[in-house]
Structure 1
Amino acid sequence: MTYQGVLTKMETEFSQPIQYYLVFENDFLNMNQLLNKAITIQFVKYQCLNCGLNKPIYRQGFDKQCFYEVPQAADWIMRPELSRAHLGKEDRDLGYEKKVQLQPHIVYLANSSNVKVGVTRKQQVPTRWIDQGAHEAIEIVEVPNRYLAGITEVALKNYVADKTNWRKMLKNEIEDENLVEWRERLKPYIPTEVHDYFIENNTETNLEFPVYRYPEKPKSLNIIKQQEYSGKLVGLKGQYLIFEDDMVFNVRANEGLVVNISIN
């Protein structure tokens, strides 16, 4: 059985363990059901997630021209402190920016390879934590817009990491942390204008990923360079497919690629 479609990040369902779905235009794959099966991934072509053209993907699933034009790839996406919709100021598309920026946002702590601080829209909890491969996470601040979340993250980055070590996360070299204690430890460093949004009483969320075997030395699959790869799928964590031979494939990092996926 072979399925073809353009890659976008896997959809997920919060359960024990997490359920993963690869959604194509005409097909829908429950990836959990493919665990312990041999699959083949074959690169077919590019398909920009904005214009749909067969042009090399630059970043985030967009070709270079679209990346620098669409509001979904503006700087405030990666750097929420640059958000300006609350001031009525346009970056690329004020309507889109208001829709995304002017809604409840969460500043959180997540533990995937280490404790890190991050920002996400409230409606993206716990999806954001799943995508990062965090085995535990906790909300620390809930604010009404992206800008306030961004300045909080910037302030806390001086005291806690803001990046995940993907190799350590995939190897499952993790230690449990008391995220409630971390939250209290970081509270004094939250900006004054955000103090009233601090979440006083909550507990951490624990996540379980469907992994039969963690890679000892994860190797990242470059499907464009390799063109085709076959292997036995043994795990799903973050947005990664984990194979028996320690090869790993980051689905999200390959958005905008059209692939064939065959179940052998």
Structure 2
Amino acid sequence: MFEGVLIKMITEFEDPIQYYLNIGSDFLHMNQLLNKKIALKFVKFECLNCHLDKPIYRQGFCKSCFFEVPQAADWIMKPELSKAHLNEEDRDLEYEKKVQLQPHIVYLANSSNVKVGVTRKTQVPTRWIDQGAHEAIEIVEVPNRYLAGITEVALKDHVGDKTNWRTMLKNEIQDEDLTQWRENLKQYIPEEAKEYFIENNSETNLNFPVLEYPKKLKSLNLQKTPEYEGVLKGIKGQYLIFEDDTVFNVRANEGLVVNINVLS
């Protein structure tokens, strides 16, 4: 039996992807739990910042912390709002410089459809794994988050920027030639970022540890259904997939303290 606050699963880029859950003082290798019956139980909340038992608002933070901590500022979700390169503070300039003023990648990923995204270079391929992408490719590598953000905004007029999580989890996907997509989109890259275009690279393919894909999805909300038991059949993105077609998004439930019991 294990108990602790949920944070997103740690991953290793192998074939298949390896998943680990750091919970409390324990470190669970989730791949080893495939085909085992697991019980989940909601215990309480624990904000990832203040660690108080307060309802989670977004991204693992209680409402007051969400509007205060730099990890939840608008530039996180909208990189084009980054201002550290101008030496302008949003919430914490030291933190913002640390995160924003480092190499960033604008990429194409195919999870449910081809989409454009932004991530720090150090988060490749982790970001693709977390999105459940079965293939991905880098388009540009820029020196800061702002340039990545304006490039993403420009490309969003010509390619999607959202993943259909239902399609991704059902594995209703088609292979795409991402190198051709990259070439087709090259013309829309802003002038400030054109010099950072990656000319010659190949797509990365990812294989997830899924024994059985769900047919009809039922999303588990532990706050509404505080106890659940099911046989784990797969892991994709940050989702646990169970035999009865129930799926549980670990990352969307960060900040919840849960009890996990491996029953068989």
The two structures share one fold, judged by TM-score above 0.5: yes
Secondary structure of the corresponding residue to residue 223 of structure 2? helix
Report what 1:68 is aligned to.
Answer: 67
Amino acid at match of 2:219: S
Unaligned runs of 5+ in 1: none
Aligned residues: 263
Report what 1:89 is aligned to.
Answer: 88
What is the RMSD of the two structures over their aligned residues, measured on CA atoms?
0.3
Runs (4+) of structure 1 moved beyond 2 Å? none
C-alpha separation between the residues in 2 aligned to 1:181 and 1:84?
33
C-alpha separation between the residues in 2 aligned to 1:170 and 1:25?
28
Report what 1:213 is aligned to.
Answer: 212
C-alpha separation between the residues in 2 aligned to 1:178 and 1:243?
31
CA deviation profile, 1:97-142 (whole Å, cap 9, x unmatched): 0000000000000000000000000000000000000000000000
Amino acid at match of 2:125: P
TM-score, normalising length: structure 1: 0.99
Report what 2:165 is aligned to.
Answer: 166
CA deviation profile, 1:152-209 (whole Å, cap 9, x unmatched): 0000000000000000000000000000000000000000010100000000000000
CA deviation profile, 1:194-230 (whole Å, cap 9, x unmatched): 0100000000000000000000011110011101000
What is the correspondence of 1:27-176 to structure 2 with a 5 Å cutoff?
Answer: 27-176=26-175
Report what 1:12 is aligned to.
Answer: 11
C-alpha separation between the residues in 2 aligned to 1:217 and 1:162?
24
What is the identity percentage for the equivalent residue pairs of Structure 1 and Structure 2? 77
CA deviation profile, 1:55-82 (whole Å, cap 9, x unmatched): 0000000000000000000000000000
C-alpha separation between the residues in 1 aligned to 2:109 and 2:99?
22
C-alpha separation between the residues in 1 aligned to 2:74 and 2:41?
32
TM-score, normalising length: structure 2: 0.99
Secondary structure of the corresponding residue to residue 212 of structure 1? coil
What is the correspondence of 1:239-250 to structure 2 with a 5 Å cutoff?
Answer: 239-250=238-249
Offset at residue 24 of structure 1 (A): 1.6
Secondary structure of the corresponding residue to residue 225 of structure 1? coil
Unaligned runs of 5+ in 2: none
C-alpha separation between the residues in 1 aligned to 2:14 and 2:225?
34
